[in-house]
Amino acid sequence: MSQSRHVPVMLQRCLDLLAPALEEPGAVVVDCTLGLGGHSEALLARFPEARLVALDRDKEALRLSGERLAPYGERATLVHAVYDELPDVLDRLGVPRVQGVLFDLGVSSMQLDEADRGFAYAQDAPLDMRMDQTTGMSAAEVLNTYPPGELVRILRAYGEEKQAKRIVSAIVRERDKEPFSNSARLVELIRAALPQAAKRTGGNPAKRTFQALRIEVNGELSVLERAIPAAVEALDVGGRIAVLSYHSLEDRLVKQVFAAGAANTAPPGLPVVPERYAPRLKLLTRGAELPTEEEIAENRRAAPARLRGAQRIRESIG
């Protein structure tokens, strides 16, 4: 798998957002989603005084990135961990606070490109979808064993799929005849289950179902719900965080955490706001920033990206 065709999304903008916090000697930056190491390599190259801690739950990604980042030697520490384990990882490394944190959420290019992982609906593959293939349930097990009501809930909540009931009744009918194992059969079934009008909108009709299964299999939203506040907590005063998300559910979670951190929580009418009510974060982006048209033309995977940044402006009190 060649790394040259993997273009990190919104790379320059991420580096610029984090830059003011990473130019000091001894700064530590955490790449919570190492993947193929594109963002990590750029961070190490641009900030020669900084040290990198990078996390990934995918052992194959760690192996490939390890080769790529080897020239940076001791400056890069790669850890097999899910990003909500950030506090434990920093604790083990004896790093009390960090100056920068980057999240590039969603599926890495490598996982999409490796057919046998079952993330992509464009090619037939075993329905696996686990980012860490050493643990947890595969997508096939979810399809074959979850009660119908639970499947409907997942497709609606995580895939924003309006036709969830139709798709699930077709899945349940088919799995009784023969359990699901490969992606092509699922794609075929979704195509057949959807009404004509639903097939005419927005790309491959299986896209939303695959997204929903992937989020469920990897516990992505519950992990993110813990990870973003933990990352904000790990930031030193003056430290910065940048988060790239790829669908509205992720972006909404990030937005909520940042907005809560940037809010003044004082009861109305106080003449002077005590420090414990003052905002802990300053927002660095107005809403979510989008990739440029040129970038999308160069890298179609950038199209759904939304970038938000924030800076830690004071300690937590209480």
The stretch 186-201 carries a mean pLDDT of 82
Residue 124 is labelled as binding a ligand: no
- Consult the annotation and say whether 104 binds a ligand: yes
Band of the pLDDT at 316, cuts 50, 70, 90? confident
The answer to whether residues 58 and 44 touch, using CB atoms and an 8 Å cutoff, is no
- 111 annotated ligand-binding residue: yes
User: b/e string for 210-243 if b means 16 or more Cβ within 10 A?
Assistant: bbbbbbbbbebeebbebbbbbbbebbbeebbbbb
56 annotated ligand binder: yes
- Which residues, 6 or more positions from 48, have their beta carbon under 8 angstroms from its beta carbon? none
Q: Is 88 annotated as a binding residue?
A: no
Of 1.10.150.170, 1.20.1050.10, 3.40.50.360, 3.30.530.20, the CATH number of 115-218 is 1.10.150.170
Mean residue pLDDT of the chain comes to 90
4: confidence class by pLDDT, cuts 50, 70, 90: very low
Note the pLDDT of residue 199: 65
Question: Annotation-wise, does 6 bind a ligand?
Answer: no
What pLDDT is attached to residue 125?
85
**Model confidence at 1, in pLDDT bands (50, 70, 90)?**
very low
Q: How confident is the model at residue 200 (pLDDT cuts 50, 70, 90)?
A: low
Average pLDDT of the residues in 248-252: 91
Please tell me the predicted confidence (pLDDT) of residue 3: 41
Nearest to 142 by CA among 214, 222, 223, 225: 214
Domain locations along the chain: 11-110+220-312, 115-218
Q: Report the 3 state secondary structure along the chain.
A: CCCCCCCCCCHHHHHHHHHHHHCCCCCEEEECCCCCCHHHHHHHHHCCCCEEEEEECCHHHHHHHHHHHHHHHHHEEEEECCHHHHHHHHHHHCCCCEEEEEEECCCCHHHHHCHHHCCCCCCCCECCCCCCCCCCCCHHHHHHHCCHHHHHHHHHHHHCCCCHHHHHHHHHHHHHHCCCCEHHHHHHHHHHHCCHHHHCCCCCCCHHHHHHHHHHHHCHHHHHHHHHHHHHHHEEEEEEEEEEECCHHHHHHHHHHHHHHCCCCCCCCCCCCCHHHCCCEEECCCCCECCCHHHHHHCHHHCCCEEEEEEECCCCCC
Does pTM surpass 0.95?
no
CATH architecture for residues 11-110+220-312: 3-Layer(aba) Sandwich (3.40)
* Number of residues that make up the chain: 318
251 is in an annotated binding site: no
